[in-house]
Structure 1
Amino acid sequence: MSLVSLENTITIALSVRDRHASAEWYSSMLGFELIRHIDEAGWSEMQTKTAGVTLGLGEQAEPKPGNSVPVFGVSDINSAREALETAGVKFDGPTETIEGMVSLATLYDPDGNALMLAQNLMVQA
């Protein structure tokens, strides 16, 4: 049994220079479909061809190749974080919340690889 109950979703987050241009590339080259551009957060999401797996494009002035970070969906980020911290898992700063959108927490595996937990705060219609 695991400490955290993950949802059946994963987002692979990439840093890109121009997320609108990158979204066009992933659409035309790989057939991914745009889910949304969230301009105020510098973020775009695309549905891959795999159910439950999305590609997140975060805008950065100087992205570095090999910067992929898996983002695992959780239903309650506070309880997930508390369970992991109690078990000695290291986090990078406090949980960040973009109101009405998402709460995010970056953590590290034993080798220092960054992972994220994300709780979706968007109201589903």
Structure 2
Amino acid sequence: MSLVSLENTITLAISVRDRHVSAEWYTAMLGFELVHHIDEAGWSEMKTKTAGVTLGLGEQAKPTPGNTVPVFGIGDIESARSSLEAAGVRFDGATQTIEGMVSTATFYDPDGNAMMFAQDLTVPA
């Protein structure tokens, strides 16, 4: 039995220089659909052709190619984080929240691979 209960969603987060240009590329080349641009967070999301899988575009001045971070949808981020921390899992700083939008927490597997939980705050709990 696992320590946390994941939802049936995953976002593959990648770093890009210009989210708007990248969104146009993924639309034209792969047929992805823009879900939204969240300019204040430097973040965009694209609906892929696979149910439950989203591509997240995180804007950075110098993106790191090949650095994909899986972002797992979670219903209760604080409970999940507490469970993993109690089991010795390392997190990267505090949980980040954009009120009314999302809460995220980055954590690492035993080999140092980054992963993230994301709790959607746009839907009632």
Pairwise TM-score range, normalised by the shorter structure: over 0.9
Letter in 1 for 2:52: G
SS of 2:45 mapped into structure 1? strand
Q: Tell me, which stretches of 5 or more residues in structure 2 are unaligned?
A: none
Q: What residue in structure 2 maps to residue 39 of structure 1? A: 39
User: Distance between the aligned counterparts of 2:91 and 2:64, measured in 1?
Assistant: 22
- Tell me the alpha carbon deviations over residues 18-73 of structure 1, each in whole angstroms, 9 at most, x when there is no partner: 00000000000000000001111111000000000000001000001111100000
User: Distance between the aligned counterparts of 2:63 and 2:78, measured in 1?
Assistant: 29
Q: What residue in structure 2 maps to residue 67 of structure 1? A: 67
- Tell me the alpha carbon deviations over residues 4-29 of structure 1, each in whole angstroms, 9 at most, x when there is no partner: 00000000001100000000000000
Q: Tell me, which stretches of 5 or more residues in structure 1 are unaligned?
A: none
Percent of pairs identical after alignment? 78
* RMSD over equivalenced CA pairs, Å: 0.9
CA shift, 1:104, in A, is 0.4
User: Distance between the aligned counterparts of 1:77 and 1:21, measured in 2?
Assistant: 31
**Is residue 2:109 matched to residue 1:109?**
yes
Q: What residue in structure 2 maps to residue 55 of structure 1? A: 55
Letter in 1 for 2:117: L
Q: What residue in structure 2 maps to residue 4 of structure 1? A: 4
User: Distance between the aligned counterparts of 1:62 and 1:42, measured in 2?
Assistant: 13
SS of 2:78 mapped into structure 1? helix
Q: Which runs of 4+ in 1 moved over 6 A?
A: none
User: Distance between the aligned counterparts of 1:98 and 1:90, measured in 2?
Assistant: 22
Letter in 1 for 2:53: V
SS of 1:55 mapped into structure 2? strand
* Paired residues, number: 124
User: Distance between the aligned counterparts of 2:29 and 2:54, measured in 1?
Assistant: 16
TM-score of the superposed pair, with normalisation by structure 2 = 0.97
**Is residue 2:91 matched to residue 1:82?**
no
